[in-house]
Structure 1
């Protein structure tokens, strides 16, 4: 029986990987200095929740087959130091995923936006068509208990991001998967704290493209000029496949794919989602799924959690939430909702939560991203700003940055909630966008406005 110890087991992907290894029959232990829900309950149910928080070198012993190191851990972590002293192999989770999938066909979904949505669509279609596969995805999606699965399946679908691998490895995660097939959705500056120079950020994707093997395939969005530039400057010998937004039409707030066999209804919408769908279709075709099979499966796809997620709706209104936080994501999401319901008023609320979005030097990248909203609202949590050691931006600074003089700022979640509760939502859509949770703002009262 394999025996692995997780340093920083409480992370979203880390705890899912731990659960996947338990499911596989491995012995798993772990440590962390903090573990939040739902990780805490899920680890407890599996019998691998650490008895107490903190780092305990005595947990590290020569009987371990390896250490799986989370990004949250520091390089001087006492458990990591002990593992090095004992000569125990240390893996980042991307390295471990590759180690477990060397003999599989590896499909990596990359890009500044759309990764989770594209991966989720592929997983949905493959499952619906009864194809055996493993996967790693960055969000909990309907129909899948875990965000990670490792089995004897011949292929693995991996959501590969450009963020740093581990405290010991400052390279992007997606370098480690050694893809057979890679999809590149788009390039738009993100992770300002890691890649303060845009040229350096773009170079990560160029390196990924050049890792495509001669017998492999690169699938890329031809609608993105920076992706085109990166692909054109490469010298890869593998197959190149392009895609753009799938042809579609909107009728009474519903989107239908235009196909040779007639219109196909789908539950997702917006230009970027139609690009995501078409990219996923190209990947599925490379894996042996026919067009007919794809169109049979796609109408049942509801989307990944918090990716243009429909929270509540009635005849003349709808409430959506989305993970959007980077400028390109924010603009695409707001535009998608407005274009889908052009006759409805759009109230868009954006929580600036990441280091990039809270940094005044990065703010100019948000110019005109909320132009399609009829009312634009920004929420800032002063505590989050303090933790990131940044300066709290005022309303005037944000208005200048977003190029929107009627933009409204809230810095207290209860005041924001009271304001949203006081709005009249007749013929109105509410769009909540954030990679956070508005400081645990209770949405139940707001949801009731859409009953």
Structure 2
């Protein structure tokens, strides 16, 4: 049994690597600066030993290989000792390709927004069809209850292992020693390109730099593969114009895959203007219908009929932290959503508005992503929140002037530097039938449970 030690194990991606490695028969240990629930509990339940911090003495574990997460930088004491001793190390994406993906049909979901939801939909469609795929997703799909697993035995052929693996293909960099995007390591045969905007201002100087990485991904897709691209996204169209060697299907356009809304709980699916199925579900917004179209198209590429894919999506349960209802208190409904980029914020609020009509939406935002902390998106923030009736922003994690950024919202917006003061304020303004939409890509100090209590 080979032993790997994962340095920076508690992130969603590296935690998924740990789960897959353990299932594949490796001995797995790991360390991180923040070893705490729920990831620590999930990993320890798998029998994975966790170590708090990055002490250089961890080299005494003598693993066969150190797998390095992208949170690790030069100056990290354990990494410095690994380098000083000349010990074997690799990145998480490279380890995943060499040990899991290289002999599988990889279905990758890339894009600025919607990766987790679309990958979850696609994995579920394959599961519903009996194909038992492996997957690694940056969230927990509620149809599965785990974020990552190895391919399983298909229903149709219990003597073999599924050849399919669905992965959320992130454009963030791989490691301090490999500045390519993670997704160039995955070599997908089927690739979804959901959308493309400027993000990750901490590693990309501009949109063109991100487009270059997407172009590098496109270069790895075989001629007999398939690219499924959002036809309404000009940035993707421009990226494909740099060169494409693979067939392309588009969604969101007439000459491709389209969704026709019947009501808030159903939509029809068309391919080249021909009706191919109907989805009945409770998910909100045009963005989720586009996510569904992409998943249906990708599933069709491996032989799943659109009617069956629509049937699967009709029983799809959304990912945790994607418009997840946390509970109700005094008639007000509290939601948790991962939205942290202005486009995602706007589409999330628009989806909720379509559902609740004129009922009051209180949008509570914590701008804490690296891009938000740098202030790169501050000029677009006010317009992204415009559809909410009231906006509350916790500015404790940023250095730029949030009050100035939200001035276009006038009296609709209130900014707090103190979390407890903000919590008291929210409790005083919540009324029956209000919808409190909490948006953050972090834990937000447990705000959801504190409001419910």
Give the TM-score of the pair, scaled to structure 1: 0.88
Higher mean C-alpha displacement, 193-202 vs 117-126: 193-202
Work out the number of aligned pairs and report it: 432
Q: 1:165 deviation in Å? A: 0.5
- 1:175-186 equivalences under 5 Å are 175-186=184-195
Matched position secondary structure for 2:310: helix
Secondary structure at 2:259's aligned position in 1? coil
Whether the 8 Å contact between 2:54 and 2:78 is mirrored in structure 1 is: no
Cα separation, 2, equivalents of 1:51 and 1:256: 48
Q: 1:203 aligns with which of 201, 205, 212?
A: 212
**Counterpart position of 2:311:** 296
User: How many angstroms does 1:426 deviate by?
Assistant: 3.3
Q: Which residue of 2 aligns with 1:246?
A: 259
Tell me the CA shift for residue 78 of structure 1.
Answer: 4.3
Are 1:256 and 2:262 an aligned pair?
A: no
Which residue of 2 is the match for residue 170 of structure 1?
A: 179
Among residues 398, 401, 410, which one is paired with 1:405 in the alignment?
Answer: 410
Report the counterpart of residue 154 of structure 2 in structure 1.
none
Q: Name the residue aligned to 2:446.
A: 440
Please state whether the residue corresponding to 1:140 is helix, strand or coil: coil
C-alpha change, 1:297 and 1:315, in structure 2 (3 Å) is: farther
Q: Secondary structure at the match of 1:368?
A: helix
Cα deviation for residue 446 of structure 1 reads: 3.3
Q: Secondary structure at the match of 1:191?
A: coil
Report deviation, 1:221. 0.7
Instruction: Show CA shifts across 1:321-350 (max 9, x none).
Output: 210001111111111111222232221111
Residue 39, structure 1, aligned to residue 44, structure 2: no
Q: Is the 8 A contact 1:264 1:299 kept in 2?
A: yes
Report the alpha carbon displacement of residue 3 of structure 1 after superposing the two structures with TM: 1.7
Counterpart of 1:4?
4
Corresponding residue for residue 90 of structure 1: 89
- The reply on whether 1:334 has 2:349 as its aligned counterpart is yes
| Aligned 8 A contact 2:68 2:175 in 1 | yes
**Partners of 1:305 and 1:156 in 2: CA distance:** 21
Q: Distance in 1 between matches of 2:329 and 2:58?
A: 57
| 1:282–1:12 distance in 2 versus 1, CA, 3 Å | same
C-alpha distance in 2, partners of 1:83/1:118?
37
In structure 1, the partner of 2:114 is 114
Contact between 1:20 and 1:148, CA under 8 Å: does it hold in 2?
Answer: yes
Q: What does 1:264-283 correspond to in 2, within 5 Å? A: 264-283=279-298
2: CA distance between counterparts of 1:444 and 1:9? Answer: 26
Change (3 A) 1:168 1:373: same
| Equivalence for 1:388 | none
Change over 3 Å in CA distance of 1:167–1:6 after alignment to 2: same
TM-score (norm 2): 0.88
TM-aligned CA deviation for residue 261 of structure 1 = 7.8
Unaligned runs of 5+ in 2: 152-160, 253-257, 270-274
Q: 2:278 touches 2:310 (CA, 8 Å); kept in 1?
A: no
Q: Distance in 1 between matches of 2:370 and 2:8?
A: 21
2:372: which partner in 1?
357
**1:21-40 equivalent positions in 2, closer than 5 A:** 21-40=21-40
